Chains A and B, each alone.
Chain A
Amino acid sequence: MEKSLIVVPATGDWEHYKYCLPTVERFAARFGCDLHIESGPGLPWPHGTWLKMDLIDKVDGYDRVVVMDADLYLTDNITDEDANKLLHNTIPALAPDMGRAKIKPRILSWAKRNYDVTIEQVDQHYYNAGLMSWPKAYAKQLKEYFLRFNYRTNEYFHEQDFINMFIIDQKIPIQILDRELNYMGLADLTVRTDLKIIHFVGGHKKLIPAYELWQSQHSNI
């Protein structure tokens, strides 16, 4: 029987954890996954998102590792079919980003300098790294690619561009998740009652208590 591990980088002490992490716990319990919430100090990178590169190591003993950002809010609308896309996939599963369309040019320069790779972005999707399901072999491949990383402390950027660069450079096949499984459009949260996983990116994490309040009042309407 397949086994999946959900990993959540959740270092520091942020208010939104108490709203979001229980929704991940419920998901893990409902679909029989193990769950690891990393709350200690991460890698010594300037930004905590790089902790994901550490956490994918925990895939040993599992068929896949599912990386979830700590600002994901998983709703009860997730179906078995949705869960299968994350927990029974044979290729990595990610959703397109709803903000950025491309890797930033300076990251491409960095890729050339550190990896001697030239990335040409032609009509590829740009994926959000907030929810990713990596079957074991692909998780290992990503980590190996990362270990070649010649990191310098003046190069401050998030891991998402790196992961997109990896996907393009290594020609990784991707199962594209529906937007409703990693939804970043905040304006219509009270209108779109079909959303499954809401991603409260950036400063919008402070809106999670209000969203949960609205949900609790309107769940029966």
Chain B
Amino acid sequence: MSLWTAPARFSFDYNRAVLHSFCLILLKKHFNNNVIFITDTKGKQLATNMGWDYKEVIPLFNNTDLFSGKEEIWALGKLLSCLVMKEPFLHVDNDVLLLKPLAEELSKAPVITQSQDYDALYVSPIILDILRAIDVPPNLPKYNCGVMGGTDFKFWNNWAWNALVAAEKCSKIKKETPNHGTLLSMSVEQAFLGAYCESVGMKMTTVLEQPNLQEDAAKKGYVHFIGTKDSPKWIGAVERLFQATFPEEFKDFQERWKRV
């Protein structure tokens, strides 16, 4: 998991805390406690305060030179995390719940992401301009990276490096909307990934056959809280499940949250 707290988009409230905490506990269970956290000093402090018991906390993002002039592109933390991987890995967003372990064939795949993303998210003139600036044809698949990784960690190193080069290119594009950082992030992470796979001839394996389709997700025990983190209904469901499956940990989480 990774967390870069510098972008303006970053926020840490109860909903995000409960998702992150539950996400981590599930990952520790599925991956035999072998979960690391790449973050910065503020993220490291959060980990301490919330009792997030990672195998290792790595404050990689403290070197702000890594992000110089590109602080709006909040996906950069994830790119850098993939750049430094030296073994097979799975990067999991902190709003993704793996309620079941990944199927074995997925665990052995060389390159895996959550799903293809909705094409409709990439049709505005602004995002098309960004894609043009980074030489990404608009008609290729885009991949939602709620999870990303696989056995071919070198693919991810190379993709991450090239995505950083692309991020450098589009960081100079004039901001025209309040969600400029999101459009840039979607372009250099999700859209660029599709183009990069095409350019190197890599076949992507996805956890879900379609983006976040509820039936598919429920069957596979995979939930990505895109756009639902502020929903009382969904967060209520997360709390109930968290409490039912890990009652001691949920109690600890609530006590820690009161103190934060």
Contacts and interface: CB of A to CB of B under 8 A. Distances in A.
Interface of A: 15, 186-191, 203-204, 206-207, 209-211, 213-214, 217-218, 221
Contacts of A15: 65, 68
| 8 cross-chain pairs, A with B, having the tightest CB-CB distances, nearest first | A209-B65, A190-B161, A217-B84, A190-B158, A209-B66, A190-B157, A214-B83, A206-B68
Contacts of B60: 213
B69 A210 contact: no
Name A's interface SS: helix
Contacts of B66: 209-210, 213
Interface stretch (B6-14, B162-170, B186-194): B162-170
Nearest to B87: A221
A214 B161 contact: yes
B80 to A, nearest CB: 7
Interface in B26-78: 60, 63, 65-66, 68-70
Q: Which of A190, A204, A211 has the most CB of B within 10 A?
A: A190
Given A213-B60, A213-B63, A187 B84 contact: no
14 contacts: A186-B165, A189-B161, A190-B83, A190-B157, A203-B169, A206-B68, A206-B69, A206-B70, A209-B68, A210-B80, A210-B83, A213-B63, A213-B66, A213-B80
A214 B172 contact: no
Interface string B179-201: 00000000000000000000000
Contacts of A218: 86, 157
A67 to B, nearest CB: 26
B35 to A, nearest CB: 19
Interface of B: 60, 63, 65-66, 68-70, 80, 83-84, 86, 154, 157-158, 160-162, 164-165, 168-169, 172
Nearest to A188: B158
Nearest to B161: A190
B161 A204 contact: no
Q: Which of A187, A206, A210 has the most CB of B within 10 A?
A: A210
A221 B63 CA distance: 23
Nearest to A208: B65
A132 B158 CA distance: 30
Nearest to A187: B162
B86 A221 contact: yes
Contacts of A210: 66, 80, 83, 161, 164
B165 A187 contact: yes
B84 A214 contact: yes
A214 B157 contact: yes
B88 to A, nearest CB: 13
A217 B161 CA distance: 13
Q: Which of B65, B68, B160, B169 has the most CB of A within 10 A?
A: B65
Q: Which of B84, B158, B161, B162 has the most CB of A within 10 A?
A: B161
A214 B65 CA distance: 14
Contacts of B69: 206
B168 A207 contact: yes
A87 B70 CA distance: 39
Nearest to A214: B83
Given A203-B168, A210-B161, A213-B66, 13 more contacts: A15-B65, A190-B157, A190-B158, A190-B160, A190-B161, A204-B165, A206-B168, A207-B164, A207-B165, A209-B68, A210-B66, A210-B80, A213-B80
Contacts of A189: 161
A15 B63 CA distance: 12
Nearest to B166: A187
Contacts of A186: 165
A191 B158 contact: yes
Contacts of B63: 209, 213
A19 to B, nearest CB: 8
Contacts of B158: 188, 190-191
Contacts of B169: 203
Nearest to B79: A210
A210 B158 CA distance: 12
B177 to A, nearest CB: 23
Contacts of B86: 217-218, 221
Contacts of A188: 158
Nearest to A186: B165
Contacts of A214: 83-84, 157, 161
A207 B157 CA distance: 14
Nearest to A206: B68
